[in-house]
Structure 1
């Protein structure tokens, strides 16, 4: 396996214990050699996908035309085509990352695929589809994405209990993150009881970042006071730093000790939604301000390029920040931001956005199917 450049911000990020994953996947990336190039040159050691990413990828009809035509000839419906095209891309990406997977002992080299977001509030169907996706992709380095909704929590436990590695997505609040970690630990306990090799099971918890600032900044602007204005752009990083503190605390608890001794790997925090939405902000801030060991940052290529170009990696930027991060939330409450409501709105919006992207994906594929049948 070739080694990426040994100097520069991306190398510094890797040396600081951050696994950098690309938040994007398409057949064009796979076939053009672009993804292989990012692995080779940009310290990319994993990939995340979501319904929005696949909706964008499938719009590039040329890359998928041959497969869609073949499936159409076999009588496949739109759901069949979506399942086949997305799982084929994820399987091919898993194979591309096989060397990274082997070199890191299964920690990295991971590729994520998400259950149908329309199942976000249906525990049994989420669990069933997660198991089905794992079987279809059939690669040890796949991660099945399950949302951190209340209905998703029991699915996280059930899927891990089957020995399947999981990426928990759409986490916004510390309260829900604590529940996610508990669901993870319960899943590892059950996997061990079921006779699975728990050293082979890996998990990440995707804690969303930029969307927190987007929602809270909007509320601060509506409040309009100087005190509120001074808090713009501070909430997301503070929230993620407090999540890391919670991670340290939860995996130091007695319940985790026997599992760690049996070879279990702690579920790593993953910083998601790390592309900056507000152009007034530093385009590297959701990377450079969230550097700590045993974390993952999944970023769009634009953000990765920005970090490579002018990011300044200052070592661990989370240690020693917990007091200030907590004070940020006290100040937000003091100016009138209902933080609990913020996180509720963000979860609802997150599920809704992915559902909309999924519907868009289905429409794109249906159009391609119709064209294939006519052609």
Structure 2
């Protein structure tokens, strides 16, 4: 049987797992995925941590120790989450070294409650970088309006960044601009650009979920025919923007100084609509110099029956733009779609963070009683 995950890797797509937990680390499961499923990185988010803390007893010992020294709730959450991330970084350290820092990456997100506060986001990002203290860390900063300058300021301090919650190509261009600004400032600050890496997490499936819902409401045959097309088209337009930005004169100067291109990362690639192929957002977004971060069920689906046909992105920008022209023609307000998705994305992560806080609070209370 063809090793489809190896094939995907050979096509230039780095496979990262969109999940981390102490159970995965302690059981050896994550190490197995690295060995057997070509996983070369890991991403996390508040939802992933909230689930990990509520599902397993693996944190009990650390929670008891935190309760014994009367740690505050925020300090406890930080210590628990950064412990997992640090251990994951150690697991991926050899991969990090063997790929020159391109892969072997582990991401942790700033507190989502700071998504609209630039100064606090920067402070938290720098604090997470120092606390985890591993060169293969990526600090996740959301691509909100307040997040854009935070990205630049964090990079300027030599910190590697995973920009998250990107939905529109317009915002993605601002993210890439912030990256270039950050590199230029980092160079001026005396940092070695070769040591700074970044990915831009472009969310995929949520775009179809929102657009499809609106197409159903419109209800015409023309509208229904466009279901399931917006997300892939959006990502393909993003890749065209990536190629444009990282082939210009401004980028060339930074590349000469040792800088790395900020790779597009396809996030939210688990299919939400059961009518669609479970590997839709993998098969249709195969192109070199990208990352696809997948939940484990998507990873398994790709291994079993992915329809890999080589590069499915390069040269598709014209077709992708036609999809958006058609969506506008049937009455979809694309700008409103992206605003809605960004607001919902921040709110979902805030809710998950509150759930995480509640879970740790209850566990600390139980351990201290």
Output the TM-score relative to the length of structure 2: 0.99
2:72 equivalent to 1:38: no
Q: Which residue of 2 aligns with 1:221?
A: 216
SS in 1 for 2:321: helix
8 A Cα contact 2:23 2:56, kept in partner:
no
Q: Which residue of 2 aligns with 1:159?
A: 154
Hey, what's the Cα distance between the residues in 2 that align with 1:33 and 1:73?
29
For residues 221-260 of structure 1, the aligned pairs below 5 Å read 221-260=216-255
Moved over 3 A (4+): none
Q: Which residue of 2 aligns with 1:65?
A: 60
The Cα offsets for residues 54-92 of structure 1, whole Å up to 9 and x where unpaired, read as 000011341001101101111101111110010000000
Output the TM-score relative to the length of structure 1: 0.98
Instruction: Compute the displacement of 1:322 (Å).
Output: 1.0
The Cα offsets for residues 154-209 of structure 1, whole Å up to 9 and x where unpaired, read as 11000100100000000000110000000000000000011101001000000000
Instruction: Compute the displacement of 1:98 (Å).
Output: 0.7
The Cα offsets for residues 19-44 of structure 1, whole Å up to 9 and x where unpaired, read as 00000000000000000000000000
Hey, what's the Cα distance between the residues in 2 that align with 1:313 and 1:330?
28
The Cα offsets for residues 263-301 of structure 1, whole Å up to 9 and x where unpaired, read as 100100000000000000000010011000100000000
Q: CA, structure 1 residues 308+61, in 2 after alignment: closer, same or farther (shift >3 Å)?
A: closer
Say which of 48, 52, 65 aligns to 1:53. 48
Listed as ranges, the gaps of 5+ residues in structure 1 are none
Say which of 6, 17, 23 aligns to 2:18. 23
For residues 95-114 of structure 1, the aligned pairs below 5 Å read 95-114=90-109
SS in 2 for 1:62: coil
8 A Cα contact 2:226 2:327, kept in partner:
yes
Say which of 257, 261, 264 aligns to 2:259. 264
Listed as ranges, the gaps of 5+ residues in structure 2 are none
For residues 176-187 of structure 1, the aligned pairs below 5 Å read 176-187=171-182
2:306 equivalent to 1:311: yes
Report which stretch shifted further, 248-257 or 199-208: 248-257
8 A Cα contact 2:122 2:150, kept in partner:
yes
The two structures, once aligned, show a CA RMSD in angstroms of: 0.8
8 A Cα contact 1:147 1:170, kept in partner:
yes
SS in 1 for 2:16: strand
8 A Cα contact 2:265 2:290, kept in partner:
yes
